[in-house]
Amino acid sequence: MTAAKPRYKKDIRIKPDVIYVPKTRACAAAGCTGEGAYKVPRSREQLSSYIWVCLEHAREHNEKWDYFRGMSEADIARFQAESVTGHRPTWPLGKRAAGIPGVDAPIRGGFHIDDGFAVFGDAEEPVKPRRPERVLTRLQRQAFDILDLEPNATLNEIKARYKELVKRFHPDANGGDRGTEERLKQVIKAYGVLRASGLVG
Cα–Cα distance measured from residue 34 to residue 17, given in angstroms and rounded to the nearest whole number: 30
Give pLDDT, residue 69: 85
Q: What's the whole-number average pLDDT of the chain?
A: 77
Given a contact cutoff of 8 angstroms between Cβ atoms, the answer to whether 174 and 180 are in contact is yes
Report the amino acid identity of residue 169.
Answer: F
Quote the percentage of the chain above a pLDDT of 90: 6
pLDDT grade for 12, boundaries at 50, 70 and 90: low
pLDDT grade for 107, boundaries at 50, 70 and 90: very low
Lowest mean pLDDT among 32-36, 43-47, 94-98, 174-178: 94-98
Pick the CATH number of 138-196 from 3.40.50.620, 3.90.1150.10, 3.10.450.50, 1.10.287.110: 1.10.287.110
Sequence spans of domains, the chain? 25-88, 91-127, 138-196
For helices 155-169 and 181-196, give the axis angle rounded to 10 degrees.
160
Backbone angles phi, psi at 173, to 5 degrees: -85, -5
